[in-house]
Amino acid sequence: MSMLLIKKYSRLENVTLIMFTAFLFFSTLFCNVTKVNNLFHLSCGLLLLSLLFRGQLYRDAQQDRVTLRGLGLIALMAVYFALSNIWGGDAGETISTLTHGVYLIIFTLLGSLALQNISRHTLMVAAIAGVTVLSVFTIATDASKVIYLRKVSEFNPGPDNVIDLAGYCAIAIMLSMIIARERRRVGYLLLAVIPAVMLVMTQSRGPLLALVLVMLATLRWRRSTPRAMGFAVLLALLAALLLIFTPVGDLLLMRFESLSNESGLRLSIWHHVLAEVGLRPWLGLGFNHELNFINYDGTHISTAHSVYLGTLYKGGVIGLALLALLLGYGLLCALRAFRAGYRLEAAIYLFMLLFIASQGMFMISNPRETWILFWLPLAVVFSAGSRAAPG
């Protein structure tokens, strides 16, 4: 318990961060479960009380200009999409959408503040542990289904598709690397082994390629210590054994060979989305308007397979511009973090930008997988940008 407590904070403030850490663990394991969400509601209430008493947590938030500016952009976007319910024909949902926005602001604020404190590794380990437990459960119960059908069972507590699960694993891998860097112990990379195995088993090209690209782009490549080289060789050997002596290798190769066919399916979905956006290009079709059509291959489509296009669909050009403003600010934070040596934090953010280009629909919601795949990376880059800020 002492690892979770921060001396400069009051008991109330420490309990707030402990509840938030517990929520992060369980939310990676159980996707959109009411009892888990109650942990977040509890941490929200405790945070508001902490801010009301104007203790150290309040002062930390007040001084964190980087995060506060980002929260302002989130608030602006949330208000706009709440108002979009009016012209979308569902004005009764305006307050509900605003509530989602408030929750996201609190989640991002708590995440950023927690990741700037000495207990930030505890928060990271909680997220990694949740993904690891989910991966072990999925391997134990759904290994064949994941490998051959690229699906998970209905009773699986995590995301309902393997692409989001792969995104979870990629983020867990990078968080493990951050801990190893800051603790100066290569052994912490062992935390990434099970998520890495799960990532390969999903055969999800997008997350795998995005992870490789951001690692190549952001890591500082220099001569490694013998111990680091030993771990790298061990991980490479384990990956080779997994690919050679299991069906995963052949299936992954087939997945890449079928890329051209599946790209055609995505392009047809995006073409349909743009055609519907053309009906109301500036304001979009509204926050609650759902995509619903049958694709040319007979598949029922309810997602844009791109958060960027999903945002354009719901909020039009104005909504997409607000998202671009938020993400552009995040890029500035990532650049500042990169220059200050927080390269992996920048990598997590860049991974998110690539991931949402071909996956998902929208990011304003109640607690679910988008909170881990979109809002957590945003909190990570805000915290890194704040730590890298002069003064």
Task: Evaluate if residue 354 carries a pLDDT over 60.
Answer: yes
Residues 108, 378 contacting (CB under 8 angstroms): yes
Mean pLDDT of the chain: 90
Confidence of residue 58 (pLDDT cuts 50, 70, 90): very high
pLDDT at 255: 58
HEC string of 350-387 equals HHHHHHCCCCCCCCCCCCCHHHHHHHHHHHHHHHHHHH
Residues 146, 162 contacting (CB under 8 angstroms): yes
pLDDT at 10: 86
**Average confidence (pLDDT) over 51-79:** 95
Confidence of residue 300 (pLDDT cuts 50, 70, 90): confident
pLDDT at 1: 43
Based on the number of CB atoms within 10 Å of its own CB, is 157 exposed (0-12), middle (13-18) or buried (19 or more)? middle
Judged by average pLDDT, the poorest of 5-9, 158-162, 353-357 is: 5-9
pLDDT at 2: 44
pLDDT at 368: 92
Tell me the per-residue pLDDT of 196-208, one tens digit each, with 9 for 90 and over: 999 999 988 889 9
Secondary structure of residue 113 in the 3-state scheme: helix
Task: Evaluate if residue 254 carries a pLDDT over 60.
Answer: yes
Rounded to 10°, the helix 162-183/193-202 angle is 150
Tell me the per-residue pLDDT of 112-132, one tens digit each, with 9 for 90 and over: 999 998 889 999 999 999 999
Confidence of residue 240 (pLDDT cuts 50, 70, 90): low
What are the residue ranges spanned by the domains of the chain?
A: 134-257
Distance CA 224, CA 175 (A): 20
Distance CA 288, CA 93 (A): 8
Place of tokens 């891998």: 173
pLDDT at 225: 61
Confidence of residue 374 (pLDDT cuts 50, 70, 90): very high
Element (H, E) at 294: strand 293-294
Q: What is the pTM of this model?
A: 0.92
* Residue 293, beta-bridge partner list: 301
**Average confidence (pLDDT) over 102-113:** 97
Confidence of residue 390 (pLDDT cuts 50, 70, 90): confident
